[in-house]
Structure 1
Amino acid sequence: MTCKPAFFVLFYSLLFPAASFGATNLKNVCPARIETSQSPRKIPEGWTPVLEGGPSILTNAGFYDGHPEQLAELAPSKSKSTRRELVNDWSFSTAHNGSIWIKCIYSNTGLSLARQLDKDISSCSISYDARHAPFSIADITCK
């Protein structure tokens, strides 16, 4: 009985998924929605707060050189658009040493989520659905 090379590739990739294809692929890097609550700190006299519920849905994301509080947002390396889709691509230097962060931005809140990307991430792509304004994120992929 002979085994075909494809069998060994499949077997090896199941045993060692990260090693077999290099950098880890991350799909949908940001949570699609988050639960939040809001309350006013100080209400002007004569006013009553009206809290409108609703989910906080992912609306945008950006990449930063360092923590997003440092405000060093990176511009996309490349953009392409069609009538249906806008795709922004970022390429990161191999010398970033884990200094690249992603910030996920949500609707109905001032709260964003941020996390540092792994050192082996060398590029990320954000695809937007361009069929309706404002554009909505269809996919975020990093590898």
Structure 2
Amino acid sequence: MNLSRFFCALSSALCLSAPALAQTLQCPPTVQTKAGSLQLQQTPAGFAPYFEGGQLPLSGASIFDGPPEQGAQLQPAGGKGVLRWSLSDAQAGVWLSCDYAQGLFRLVQKLPHTPRSCSAKLYKEGKSPLLQAVFSCE
């Protein structure tokens, strides 16, 4: 067996036998929005929608079973500070969501594989009023 085949076989064996590594995602504590107009389903006569733009602080963390636009938001267990989700029943892919403005705006990320479980630690650093969120999935 040549050396390159040996290392290829060894690395494959290690990857298959090693436990899954935890995936982590840190939500940005704020997002900066751009001023402009919003699309409304119905604009009252005589009005035009306008969005001032500005900084939106993080307000929470969510997980969806499938794309968020499908609305399958999973309910976490746990309490203040740490949220936990069991994902053994997730069927449409797991999407992590960093929520801003009480979920009116979200940054979402689809995980490449469905983990068994995820947690989100929510906290504030020092005297900062900004919420922080870190997801950990395994």
Relative to the length of structure 2, the TM-score reads: 0.60
Structure 2 Cα separation of the partners of residues 105 and 88 of structure 1: 14
8 A Cα contact 2:98 2:108, kept in partner:
yes
1:92 aligns with 2:94: no
Is 1:26 the counterpart of 2:23? The answer is yes
Partners of 1:139 and 1:92 lie apart in 2 by: 17
Deviation string for 1:49-101 (max 9, x for gaps)?
A: 683x643332212111111111111111x3144xxxx21111111x6466111
Aligned positions of 1:52-131 closer than 5 A: 54-76=54-76, 78-81=77-80, 86-93=81-88, 96=90, 99-107=93-101, 110-129=104-123
Q: Report if the CA contact (8 A) 1:97-1:119 is conserved.
A: no
In 1, Cα distance between equivalents of 2:27 and 2:58:
8
Gaps of 5+ in 1: 1-14
User: Aligned partners of 2:92, 2:51: CA distance in 1, in Å?
Assistant: 42
Partner deviation per Cα, 1:9-45 (whole Å, 9 max, x = no partner): xxxxxx89x9375223233343343332131357986
Indicate if the aligned counterparts of 1:62 and 1:73 stay in contact, CA closer than 8 A. Answer: yes
CA RMSD, 1 decimal: 3.9
Question: Is the alpha carbon distance of 1:98 and 1:46 closer, same or farther for their aligned partners in structure 2, counting shifts above 3 Å?
Answer: closer
The whole-number CA distance in structure 2 between the counterparts of 1:109 and 1:34 is 13
Report percent identity of matched pairs. Answer: 27
Show structure 2 runs of 5+ residues with no match. 1-10
C-alpha distance in 1, partners of 2:115/2:105?
25
Shift of 1:129: 3.0
Cα gap change, 1:33 to 1:24, in 2 (>3 Å) = farther
Match of 1:139 in 2: 134
Looking at structure 1, the residues matched to 118 and 98 of structure 2 have their Cα atoms a distance apart, in angstroms, of 13
